[in-house]
Amino acid sequence: MTDTTEFFEGIGPIRYAGPASDDPLTYRWYDADRVVAGRRMEDQLRMAVCYWHSFVWPGSDIFGEGTLDRPWNAPGLEPMAAARRKMAAAFEFFAKLATPFFCFHDRDIAPAGDTFAESCARLDAMVDEAIGHMERSGVRLLWGTANLFSHPRYAAGSATNPDPEVFAHAAAQVCHVLEATHRMGGANYVLWGGREGYDTLLNTDLVREEAQLARFLHLVVEHKHRIGFAGSILIEPKPAEPAKHQYDHDAATVAGFLARHGLEGEVLVNLEGNHATLAGHSFHHEVATAVATGVFGSIDANRGDPQNGWDTDQFPTSVEECTLVLYEILADGGFTTGGINFDTKLRRQSVARDDLFHGHVGAVDTMARALLAAASLLESGALADRKTARYAGWDEPLGARILGGSATLADLHRLVLDEELDPTPDSGRQELLENLVNRHVERTR
Ligand code: XLS
Ligand code: NI
Ligand code: NI
């Protein structure tokens, strides 16, 4: 039986009320039907709520227990009844927030059983339950994923485990969740490798682990084609945490790995803001690098705390930062299967039930306003024109000869001697460009 309790009584649905609205539970910028850069805002942003931080996590940290007001996680309930109750709360929230998608791990929606067979049966039952909620609410699935990091069997990795029986277990779990994602009409399937890495090199065979990881991905890709899943397979890069070092360190590392193993075009990346900063990059850098290397897929929008180095998964609040991210995505033609998943969690002291709404409303509006600024920047052509002008020499005879391979090192030696080449530096115009971006951010209406 589906639970019909109303968990967020008196809140929502959240509606667009315009920039002048002082009601904190309205959208000031997210106007789903407004057309921006050729698509409705909803279709351009493809925003999703994540199940795990919002409905599973009780507000615990490594020093303390749960703090949050989560009445759907009532203790003492039979595990499947508890899962149904949690799902009812989640879909009530998705529908009231009026964002089109959600994302989940298998263990978020269905409790593990005593055997693998029981875990599969429980997941299947909860997938049926989810499909019912999706049909009633119109909420869709941006991506599904298997939790290959919480259970003790995965402490030494899933695909990169020294024990092939653990690899087999992870493969079985992914097989089942990929099929579930397919059944739910998911747009993507994500692999995040928190345990695919090492804690110490003293016990780790790097050559074997890379080969295992590549084999695992080939198996996933083969199965995707076998079952006719049309979505994208995405790897979510992260440099560390929980492992000391994770193999899918950042976008460039993943692009190199995919090329090395014949997986180009088959696997893309899901980039997270806070993972970018953990890797010592900006979110902008990660997206631009993925676009440049042809692996861009989707994003997990969140932010870290600038004063510490953890994956704090805070709600995105910087319009400027997100403008640059969305600018790269729009310039690349916009999302295809991907979208924006809010892999975000409340602070442990945010114990009021409506805090979950405030976090998401701010994040949604941040992305919406950033989209407007990014579209204005793109439409103006200002950044693109300056880039074209900056590299213009490469379209002229010398540049073409160098890139075309007809000039040798010795030819260039002769050229510089004979023609006394003495190039004068041009301004990089960084400050001017930064001010230009800010002007577009200021002008969004
Ligand atoms: C953890 C990751 C995780 C993935 C899904 O840091 O961000 O939440 O998005 O497994
Ligand atoms: Ni993360
Ligand atoms: Ni994530």
Query: Could you tell me the CATH number of the domain that includes residue 285?
Result: 3.20.20.150
Residue 169 maps to a domain: yes
Q: Is 188 helix (H, G, I), strand (E, B) or coil?
A: strand
Together in a domain, 82 and 203: yes
CA 314–ligand 2 middle distance (angstroms): 10
Choosing from 362, 380, 398, the residue where a domain stops is 380
For residues 390, 395, 400 and 404, what is the CA-based torsion angle, rounded to 10 degrees? 90
Residue 60 maps to a domain: yes
The pLDDT of residue 308 is: 87
pLDDT tens, position by position, 130-141 = 999 999 999 999
Together in a domain, 163 and 305: yes
Any catalytic annotation for residue 108? yes
Residue tagged active-site, from 106, 108, 248, 313: 108
Together in a domain, 205 and 141: yes
pLDDT tens, position by position, 168-183 = 999 999 999 999 999 9
**DSSP code per residue over 8-27:** STT-----B--TT---TTSB
**Which ligand gives the minimal distance to the CA of 301?**
3
Using an 8 Å Cβ cutoff, are 102 and 142 in contact?
A: yes
Q: Is the CB of 238 under 6 A from ligand 1?
A: yes
Together in a domain, 426 and 354: no
For residue 260, what are the domain limits? Answer: 35-380
Tally the domains of the chain: 2
Residue 13 maps to a domain: no
Together in a domain, 427 and 376: no
Q: Is the CB of 313 under 6 A from ligand 1?
A: no
pLDDT at 103 over 90: yes
Together in a domain, 92 and 236: yes
pLDDT tens, position by position, 238-256 = 999 999 999 999 999 999 9
Together in a domain, 93 and 220: yes
- As a whole number, the mean pLDDT across the chain is 97
Any catalytic annotation for residue 105? yes
Q: Is the pTM of this model over 0.95?
A: yes
Together in a domain, 348 and 298: yes
Together in a domain, 376 and 401: no
Q: Please report the sign of the dihedral spanned by the C-alpha atoms of residue 434, residue 436, residue 442, residue 445.
A: negative
Together in a domain, 244 and 308: yes
Residue 171 maps to a domain: yes
Together in a domain, 371 and 406: no
Ligand 1: atom nearest CA of 149 is 10
Residue 367 maps to a domain: yes
Residue 18 maps to a domain: no
CA 34–ligand 2 middle distance (angstroms): 31
pLDDT tier, 2 (very low <50, low <70, confident <90, very high otherwise): low
Q: Is the CB of 272 under 6 A from ligand 1?
A: yes
Together in a domain, 146 and 230: yes
Q: What percentage of the chain reaches a pLDDT higher than 70? A: 99
Choosing from 341, 358, 380, the residue where a domain stops is 380
Choosing from 328, 354, 380, the residue where a domain stops is 380
pLDDT at 291 over 80: yes
Residue 81 maps to a domain: yes
Sole residue written with tokens 């003492």: 76
Q: Is the CB of 250 under 6 A from ligand 1?
A: no
Residue 295 maps to a domain: yes
CA angle 259, 265, 270 (to 5 degrees): 90
Residues whose CB is less than 8 angstroms from the CB of residue 8 and which lie 6 or more positions away in sequence, other chains included? 89, 92, 93, 96, 353, 354, 357
pLDDT tens, position by position, 41-61 = 999 999 999 999 999 999 999
Mean pLDDT to the nearest integer, 118-125:
98
